[in-house]
Structure 1
């Protein structure tokens, strides 16, 4: 079941994310985050009327996806960055797709124009998920992050959520 995140989900979200912080280069954060940090991030999304979603399997939270502001400048207000994370032991079960399907639907319904996803490279499964949802690679930055004593590349994928023709009709 995909639903809106609440503050009660903050610890489970932090637990999922902290696995990626401490064990992978998927995120460039280097120190584990607390439930309080996640509550603050959920609140920031809510303050901007952006979705933060969780997926439950039974009584267990197994993943989350959210949109955040792309850049601070006013002209960027119709562009968002999207992210999805799953509990490390439940990947390849369609949960990321379920989260992104709901996230993209909500973003388009809110009148947002572009979704952007940043991916540490290489990451074949994340690239496949983003491309499954029609995102196209638009940028590749070489050696922009240093984690675990290795320089890492980042690619950016982008998707129009609302076509220019749809915007003109509205």
Structure 2
């Protein structure tokens, strides 16, 4: 595997990967799939430098995208500018192979020189794999929003984690 910044040529594959989680899971609270064109502004909001990054893991032999990790604005108000929200998505057939660990390692290395103070991650519950990944990277649980999202006809909790940067 290799990790690199995401580029516009990745848009179709990244959209397909994200749409899997929209259709099949409560990991994201989006409830309808996206076209690549609808996702283009999201991709373009993650340049190769700065605090808002998109890192992509690819298979070395096929260049197939195995997952991605992002850092995004935590909230739009100026006082939050030194905080980011991070997330990672791994292709369904690539779980348990260290893809998430590789992506977060690269993402946090890339963010090390940025003027950032905290990273936050919201994890829809239950999701033991994501909880373990975040705790391995030093995230600590700071609270849970109970029944904050409704998808697939039920309500879901979101546990919030933070990490000093």
Give me the TM-score of the superposition, normalised by structure 1. Answer: 0.91
1:71-128, Cα deviation, whole Å (9 max, x unpaired): 1111100000001001111101000000001111111221211110010011100000
Query: Residue in 1 aligned with 2:7?
Result: 6
Q: 1:48 Cα deviation (Å)?
A: 8.4
Contact 2:54–2:71 (Cα < 8 Å) also in 1: yes
Correspondence 1:52 to 2:54: yes
Report the secondary structure of 1:137's partner residue.
strand
**What does the per-residue CA deviation read over 1:25-64, in whole Å, with 9 as the maximum and x for residues that have no partner?**
1100011112122221011122983211101102211101
Which whole-Å CA distance do the structure 1 matches of 2:157 and 2:101 have between them? Answer: 24
In 1, the alpha carbon distance for the partners of 2:34 and 2:94 equals 21
Q: Which 5+ residue runs of structure 2 have no aligned equivalent? A: none
Q: 1:139 corresponds to which residue?
A: 143
Unaligned runs of 5+ in 1: 162-170
Give yes or no for contact 2:66–2:94 (8 Å, CA) kept in 1: yes
Count of aligned residue pairs for this structure pair: 161
Partner Cα distance (1:46, 1:124) in 2: 30
Aligned counterpart in structure 2 of residue 95 of structure 1, from 99, 103, 108? 99
2:114 is the alignment partner of 1:110: yes
Larger helix proportion, structure 1 or 2?
1
For residue 66 of structure 2, what is the aligned residue in structure 1? 62
Give the superposed CA RMSD: 1.3
Structure 1 residue ranges, 4+ long, deviating more than 6 angstroms after superposition: none
CA distance in 2, matches of 1:86, 1:145: 22
Equivalent residue, structure 2, for 1:19: 20
Q: 1:48 to 1:139 in 2, by over 3 A?
A: farther
